[in-house]
Chain A
Amino acid sequence: MKTFLPNKFIIERNHGRCIHCQVCVNQCSYEAHYLDPFSGEVKSRDRNCTNCHRCVAFCPTEALAIRCSPLDYVPNRNWTGEVIEDIIKQSESGAMVLTGMGNDKDHPIYWDKLLLNASQVTNPSIDPLREPMELRTTLGRKPDRLAYDKATGRLITKLAPQLTINTPIIFAAMSYGAISLTAHESLARAASIAGTLYNTGEGGLHKSLYKYGANTIVQVASGRFGVHPEYLDAAAAIEIKIGQGAKPGIGGHLPGEKVSAEVSVTRMIPMGTDALSPAPHHDIYSIEDLAQLIYALKEATNYTKPVIVKISAVHNAAAIASGMVRAGADMICLDGLRGSTGAAPKIIRDNVGIPIELALAAVDTRLRQEGIRNQTSIIASGGIRNSGDVIKAIALGADAVAIGTAALVALGCTVCQMCHTGKCPWGIATTNLALTKRINPDIGTQRLVNLLRGWSLEIEDMLGGMGINALESLRGNRLHLRGVGLTDTELEILGVKMAGA
């Protein structure tokens, strides 16, 4: 069938600079570059280009540039090019439109409408170059009070297991299979060097990564892929994944092409078969079932590890979160509307869920109203782009944030949204060994550690500016936020005042 889809991008090759060395040909996994055997010149197929920048980054003579195609449709606010092309795709495939990464729609980004405070005159700002600045964070269930033995001067209360991280940023759940083993290794090593955590996602834990267990959150999701006693024992914490911001309410699908030999062993499924996670956990049809799974996992690990429950941010997230805490969740992870994915139906990614800022504020407020905020830690994720977003999330009430896309960008990702094709030229969202070796884990680790360091330094600077030298004094401290361009209702839900007030 002749496709009606126009090309999205135009590859511009500067013929004066191109030396026909074929680096671009070798780098492009979509075969957008080829050697013309008749002329001996390297040429391009614009149709195949995803604008991932791989060729541009590696062209030795800077001969390449990529532009968005100037081909416009007749201007129409309703029938945009995207809408038209989705219909074209579906009329040619008869399928759901799949996509990768997070929601790219024009929903409000509340981070950009929240502004931070700084000290002037009455309160000295603190200079992190000269004064201590503390970002250390502990995650886990806390009691409402401590019992103290006056005779011995010791604490009687013993805390439930806690996770200590050096910066309030952890890596979000991304499964081996959705991303490559080299990417996973980079995340694991970076987490262990930076003193934070990464998350296996639903893909099991590759044997070579068990040694990073102290910095690993292992996930138990609806498919139960790769879940066995050693897997649970290896981890610092266990996460029950109920939902994911990019695709609330539906399951997961790892295409059989991505289920390589190693993925097959790690997930404990036959090679080449689709890994289909059910939409719900078929042993969790209600809150009391969740409590049973939480305690089953705690029993299985002898109450040595905190259990996290992850949900996508949906309309009644606050009430759900309250139930989760009462069901025994030591931490809750909220994944917002802009959370990413390796593959999801585009219609779901773009239309289901609510922004993380509103969900986070509502959950933190609700748990405080019910007097159970101490009993859990909140991890916020879904569209955290920089340290400004991190610190605003903390001020709204998050104990820590999880970053997925930002971490992948550090490894080379350019957010071209083609993860679902399994051909990631950067070696990230692929299990093709020829591509995955493009990530050198030594370098990948360094890039991730650098990112965490850079953000942490920025957080310290902003914190010091507010006259605060320990992160716990900003956590849930919404007085350090002001809103701009928000309605009264939005301000009320966020629990912040309008700038100037």
Chain B
Amino acid sequence: MKDLNRINNPHGDDKVNDACSIFGMMDTSGRRFGGGDIIKAMTLMHDRGNGLGAGFAVYGLYPNFPQHYAFHIMYLSREAQQEVESFLQDQFCIDLAEEVPTQPTPAIVDPPLIRRYFALAHPHRLEGRREDDYVVSQVMRINTQMDGAFVFSSGKDMGVFKGVGYPEDVAQFYRLETDYQGYLWTGHSRFPTNTPGWWGGAHPFSILDWTVIHNGEISSYGINRRYLEMYGYHCTMHTDTEVIAYAVDLLIRQHELPLEVVADILAPPLWSEIDRQGPEKKEFYTTLRQVYGSLLLNGPFTIVVAHRGEMIGLTDRIRLRPLTAATRGDMLYLSSEESAIRLVSPKLDRAWIPMGGEPIVGRLKASLPTKAAKAAVKESISH
């Protein structure tokens, strides 16, 4: 594992060309299920990756720690661990610190030390900031300023598991099939073309409980990044996927826009389509493009973005990368290939290919099933 974070890159051209497989599945009733199906589906699409990175995100993961930020951190050295742990002790109230359970897997070579921390923010440390903003800034601080440590998951009641390897190997390494349950799983396998495999560079990318998996190359990366930098985001992870995570965080958490509007910003209708709308919609879409044009994601992409209780699939405006959606009962599936969905659920109520730029949104039908989520919902209402 190379520490690419510390390579000085003043011009910021650190995007990675990717081709990948992506899969997302969600039980909109909130029922939690294991990782068996998504591992099967990802394994079927083995050939879409090249073994240089795979990962999974799971929601509804830590019912025993619903209010805690669950930090998953990779360490390159014991020194880095000591430095970060003393920093965390200082900034947070840590209620549990442990190694993430792994099992030796022949295909997984030279893994970093991976630990997790269930932490609450010290109220007196916030200094007027919102808790989420505080956590973001601490995560950014570790990832940009501390050698040999990398926070790759920082949300509540969710977690990211990722590394260098094929998805089936990474899943085995993290014991995902047996150890964890969640109501929403996403998975990703990479085919990077221009960086050596780096554990932090695998998908999903995450900030707070937002995760993004991405198949594609963002040709607008340069301006997306420069725009986000104006709002205090620092792109450190050497991939264009990172900008999607930050864009979503900016638009939904900071600017308080709903997911559907965010989809209209990332993959807006063409001007020719906007011109055909009635005056009200025309003004709406025109304003979105005028104000957030720098966040339009150009180039071929399919993304699946998830956060607490929600999953969204989206392709670029002219659908240059594949996405198939399907439903069966309460289940919503999103996949690069329909075959992977059929493998885990041969009978489907509906399977379709969404239009370019058309968001497919899955939401929990009721409040979340766990105590954690119920409390979380209450909290979000009280905001």
Contacts and interface: CB of A to CB of B under 8 A. Distances in A.
Contacts of A138: 286, 289-290
B44 interface: no
A140 B229 CA distance: 21
A474 B223 CA distance: 7
Interface in B59-103: none
B256 A148 contact: yes
B284 interface: yes
Interface in A449-501: 466-470, 472-480, 492, 495-497, 501
Contacts of B289: 138, 472
A423 B254 CA distance: 61
B211 interface: no
Contact of B299 (A123, A131, A374): A123
Interface string A93-110: 000000000000000000
Main secondary structure of the interface of A (DSSP, over half): loop
A423 B268 CA distance: 52
Contacts of A132: 270, 272, 318
Contacts of B296: 470, 472-473
Given A122-B17, A146-B287, A155-B287, A470 B298 contact: yes
Given A134-B271, A146-B288, A473 B258 contact: no
A145 interface: yes
Interface string B246-272: 000000001111100100000000111
Nearest to A145: B255
A119 B298 CA distance: 12
A189 interface: no
Contacts of A136: 271
Question: Which of A138, A140, A143 gathers the greatest number of chain B CB atoms within 10 Å?
Answer: A138
A371 B231 CA distance: 7
Contact of B220 (A122, A150, A373, A473): A473
A123 B318 CA distance: 13
Contacts of B256: 147-148
A67 interface: no
B221 interface: yes
8 nearest A-B residue pairs (beta carbon): A472-B293, A473-B220, A479-B222, A473-B298, A477-B222, A122-B17, A477-B223, A467-B219
Interface of B: 10-13, 15, 17-19, 193, 216-217, 219-223, 226-227, 229-231, 254-258, 261, 270-272, 280, 284, 286-294, 296-300, 317-318, 320
13 contacts: A119-B219, A132-B270, A138-B286, A144-B231, A146-B287, A468-B219, A469-B298, A470-B296, A477-B226, A479-B12, A480-B219, A495-B11, A497-B11
Given A154-B280, A479-B221, A495-B11, 10 more contacts: A123-B219, A124-B300, A146-B287, A146-B291, A147-B256, A148-B261, A159-B290, A475-B293, A475-B294, A477-B221
Interface of A: 119, 122-124, 126, 131-132, 134, 136, 138, 140, 142-148, 150, 154-155, 157, 159, 162, 368, 371, 373-374, 466-470, 472-480, 492, 495-497, 501
